[in-house]
Amino acid sequence: MPRFSYTAKSQSGVTKSGFLEAKDEQELANFLRQEGLFLISAQTKELSQGNRASIFSFQRGVSVSDKLFFIRNLRVMTVAGVSLPRAIETLSAQAQNQRLKKALAEIGEKVVHGQTLSEGLREYPDIFPEIFQNMVKVGEESGTLEQVLKNLSQQLEKQQELRSKIVGAMVYPMVVVSAMIGIGFLMLIIIVPQLAETFAELELSLPFTTQIVIGLGTFLRTRWYLLPLIILGAVFSVRGLSRTQVGKQFLDKIFLKIPVLSRLVKETAAANFTRTLSSLISSGVPLVRSLEIIAGTLNNIYFRNSLLEAAEKVRKGARLSESLKPYESLYPPLVVQMIEVGEETGETSQILEQLATFLEDEVANTTKNLASLIEPLLMLAVGGAVGFFAISMIQPMYSMLEAL
């Protein structure tokens, strides 16, 4: 969604400026109206030169661990009665990440001069996403900032744990694939050229597969310097494709169609959705706004669109469970059923939290089984590659023997 720079006025006539993400100016005006503000002017916020440069820089981002450091310690200090400006100043001095240190120092200055913490966080959306901003804002308005910070830290801990399990499950396949590529590269640049010279001296007629292997080996040996450019070109092409509407839909659909991966994608998305929605609702964020916030955090366009459409239906009076039923291909049936139970009992937040725990366990089980599922596929791939290479290079020798 585009990011708007806006100017608005409160009912008392106080002018306020800031930044918000919204689909269009109408949605921006609706968001501000919910906060008791009337939109005066708005324009799409373009990336500044500094931000453009940071896209291509190697400056370390703010990790989940860095954010957890901030949230956990801020909660401890507020519970201990430390004033907010002093707490932020102390955490800024202790932060190891330079981007976080600088952001906290500037936020602390703004809080000292009268801004709220949520307004300060809003100035750094690349570090503190919208879910941070809205939950903290609700905590400030309701006087439950301590509980909100606790919910946020639990949310981040669960997300980090889930991500670690998925990454851990992918280590083994990546090691095997990397080793296979490395061995294949060495064979192509060392062994294949020697065999090619032998075939040339014997003036053998080479099969098409052998010509392919020899051509690839010759290319890698004589024009190896082009390989990094080809890889970079492929990476940037895929990234460029993923930033277009058609390309994004195509790539996201592929991830939802691959048999083993699609299950993991759906379970992970459902776990993140239920966990985040539980945190937002328990913190007092309205349901419609919660759905819009979660939609903005999702990478898969199909999940994102499903939540935006569900938010629109809920805004018109429909229940969330009814709004999600048309998307049973994306969400496990259990998600819709448990949300329906929560709506009937009035305990949606608690049920969503329990459901998120169950789904996270399912993701853990899926990732445990992932290695055992991928291992035979990798063995088939390695065997196929070795077989293709062996047949391609041995076949001319058999032809030579038959000719004798």
- The pLDDT tens digits of the residues spanning 348-359 come to 888 988 888 888
Note the pLDDT of residue 223.
Answer: 82
Higher confidence at residue 187 or residue 399? 187
For residue 55, pLDDT beyond 60: no
Distance CA 404, CA 73 (A): 82
pLDDT in tens, 315-335: 999 999 999 999 888 888 888
pLDDT in tens, 123-153: 888 888 877 887 788 788 777 788 888 888 8
**First and final CA of the chain: distance in angstroms?**
71
| 141-170 mean pLDDT | 79
Higher confidence at residue 233 or residue 20? 233
Phi-psi region of 81 (alpha: psi -120 to 50; beta: other; left: phi over 0): left
pTM: 0.62
- Kindly indicate the confidence band of residue 2, based on its pLDDT and cuts at 50, 70 and 90: low
Higher confidence at residue 89 or residue 374? 89
| 293-315 mean pLDDT | 86
User: Cβ atoms within 10 A of the Cβ of 342, count?
Assistant: 21
**Six-digit token string for 298:** 């999702």
Query: Backbone phi, then psi, for 349, in 5-degree steps?
Result: -60, -45
Note the pLDDT of residue 50.
Answer: 37
Query: Backbone phi, then psi, for 391, in 5-degree steps?
Result: -65, -40
Note the pLDDT of residue 206.
Answer: 79
**Six-digit token string for 113:** 């001069």
Note the pLDDT of residue 15.
Answer: 66
Note the pLDDT of residue 1.
Answer: 55
- 20 pairs with which residues across the strands? 4
Asked if residues 323 and 310 have their Cβ atoms less than 8 Å apart, the reply is yes
pLDDT in tens, 103-121: 899 998 888 888 888 888 8
| 235-250 mean pLDDT | 79
- Kindly indicate the confidence band of residue 295, based on its pLDDT and cuts at 50, 70 and 90: confident
Architecture of the domain whose range is 145-404: Up-down Bundle (1.20)
Mean of pLDDT over the chain: 79
Asked if residues 308 and 295 have their Cβ atoms less than 8 Å apart, the reply is yes
Note the pLDDT of residue 313.
Answer: 92
Q: What angle do CA 297, 366, 272 make, to 5 degrees?
A: 20
Among 21-25, 183-187, 291-295, 386-390, the minimum mean pLDDT is found in 21-25
For residue 288, pLDDT beyond 80: yes
| CA-to-CA separations, 385 to 47, 170, 289, 391, in angstroms, rounded | 46, 21, 51, 10
Note the pLDDT of residue 126.
Answer: 83
- How many Cα neighbours within 13 Å face the side chain of 340? 10
Query: Which of 107-121, 216-230, 232-246 has the highest average model confidence (pLDDT)?
Result: 107-121
| 183-194 mean pLDDT | 82
Asked if residues 140 and 120 have their Cβ atoms less than 8 Å apart, the reply is no
**Domain extent listing, the chain:** 1-54, 62-128, 145-404
For residue 26, pLDDT beyond 80: no
Among 44-53, 96-105, 320-329, the minimum mean pLDDT is found in 44-53
